């Protein structure tokens, strides 16, 4: 088992196989990841294809849930707005480092000394990627992602670099391992924290939470949902143990499940 996974979900070995999810209750608070959940993952994040009907589906879900609907993504909020225009509503970006409330106001987390730590790491990351074919750096400003999707054999080298970067950050950074990517993020960022923050505010507060995600980076969100007695749904084939009690097989199934819940 991957060490990063053990850190995120130390009881993963005890988890049971997820079940098909129940029908989506319009009285719930709905949170949805993007890449691998709403969109098929592409070799380059900029190359993802957005189905033409998807912005309208997001609008319909927002209306059905009385505004208690938010995207929760590793992408920046500005990137989400470009992908799903003209839809623009509640969202958490950069793994919770950015957060836009349902009224449009912002509640971003101050990364503090992590900004300086990332600034010091950027030149080394660029040099590392230049020296190792198949590794690509995605600089999101507040986080730094090291992709190796085209060369999975680079996993060990990328993980070593990430571990060294975290050590150099002296506690300001942590690493999140995803599907052929390791991301360096400020320690205060996290999808579980973003979901908890939404649930403390209207129109999310007082509702049973539901979260769809597909990756190890979503496990903190699943754990927060399960802790609150909500519905956590893992999208994709069961490649690792998960804190989510429910599962959907792929992006098409997730879209169909959400489309069935949206008004026609």
Q: Are residues 125 and 242 both part of a single domain? A: no
Q: Are residues 66 and 194 both part of a single domain? A: yes
Regarding pTM above 0.85, the answer is yes
Q: Are residues 229 and 194 both part of a single domain? A: yes
Q: Are residues 169 and 56 both part of a single domain? A: no
Q: Are residues 87 and 76 both part of a single domain? A: yes
Biggest distance spanned by C-alpha atoms of the chain: 52
Closest CA to 170 of 212, 133, 116, 244: 116
User: In this predicted structure, what is the pLDDT of residue 240?
Assistant: 77
Q: How many domains does the chain have?
A: 2
* Residue 33 annotated among the catalytic residues of the structure: yes
132, 166, 186: which is the final residue of a domain?
186
Q: Are residues 197 and 100 both part of a single domain? A: yes
- 49 DSSP β-pair partners: none
Report the chain (264 residues): mean pLDDT per 10 consecutive residues.
36 61 96 97 86 96 97 97 96 98 97 94 95 93 93 95 95 93 95 98 98 95 97 89 94 94 46
In a domain, 19, yes or no: no
User: In this predicted structure, what is the pLDDT of residue 70?
Assistant: 98
Q: Are residues 177 and 148 both part of a single domain? A: yes
Q: Are residues 231 and 257 both part of a single domain? A: yes
Q: Are residues 72 and 58 both part of a single domain? A: yes
Q: Are residues 32 and 102 both part of a single domain? A: yes
**Cα gap 159→179, rounded to integer Å:** 13
User: In this predicted structure, what is the pLDDT of residue 10?
Assistant: 40
Residue of 25, 33, 110, 215 with catalytic role: 33
Tokens (6 digits) for 196: 């908890």
Q: Are residues 100 and 225 both part of a single domain? A: yes
Q: Which domain holds residue 39?
A: 3-10+27-109+189-261
In a domain, 22, yes or no: no
Q: For the sheet containing 69-72, what is the strand order? A: 98-100, 91-93, 69-72, 29-32, 209-213, 231-235, 246-248
User: In this predicted structure, what is the pLDDT of residue 9?
Assistant: 42
Q: Are residues 32 and 103 both part of a single domain? A: yes
User: In this predicted structure, what is the pLDDT of residue 99?
Assistant: 98
What CATH number is associated with residue 139? 3.30.70.1020
């Amino acid at each position: 088992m991957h060490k990063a996974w053990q850190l995120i979900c130390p009881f993963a070995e005890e988890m049971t196989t997820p079940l098909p999810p129940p029908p989506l209750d319009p009285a719930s608070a709905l949170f949805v990841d993007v890449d691998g959940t709403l969109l098929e993952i592409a070799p380059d994040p900029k190359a993802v294809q957005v189905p033409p009907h998807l912005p309208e589906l997001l609008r319909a879900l927002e209306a059905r849930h009385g505004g208690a609907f938010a995207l929760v993504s590793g992408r920046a909020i500005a990137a989400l707005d470009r992908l799903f225009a003209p839809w623009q509503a509640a969202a958490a970006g950069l793994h919770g480092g950015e957060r836009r409330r349902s009224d449009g106001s912002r509640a971003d987390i101050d990364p503090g000394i992590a900004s300086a730590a990332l600034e010091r790491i950027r030149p080394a990351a660029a040099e590392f990627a230049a020296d190792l074919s198949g590794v690509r750096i995605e600089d999101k400003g507040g986080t730094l992602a090291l992709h190796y999707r085209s060369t999975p054999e680079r996993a060990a080298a990328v993980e070593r670099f990430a571990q060294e970067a975290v050590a150099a950050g002296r506690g300001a950074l942590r690493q999140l391992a995803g599907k052929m990517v390791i991301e360096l993020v400020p320690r205060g960022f996290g999808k579980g924290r973003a979901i908890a923050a939404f649930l403390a505010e209207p129109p999310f507060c007082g509702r049973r939470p539901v979260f769809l995600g597909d990756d190890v980076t979503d496990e903190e969100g699943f754990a927060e949902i399960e802790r609150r007695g909500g519905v956590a749904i893992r999208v994709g084939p069961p490649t690792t143990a998960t804190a989510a009690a429910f599962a959907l097989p792929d992006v098409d199934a997730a879209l169909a499940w959400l489309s069935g819940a949206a008004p026609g």
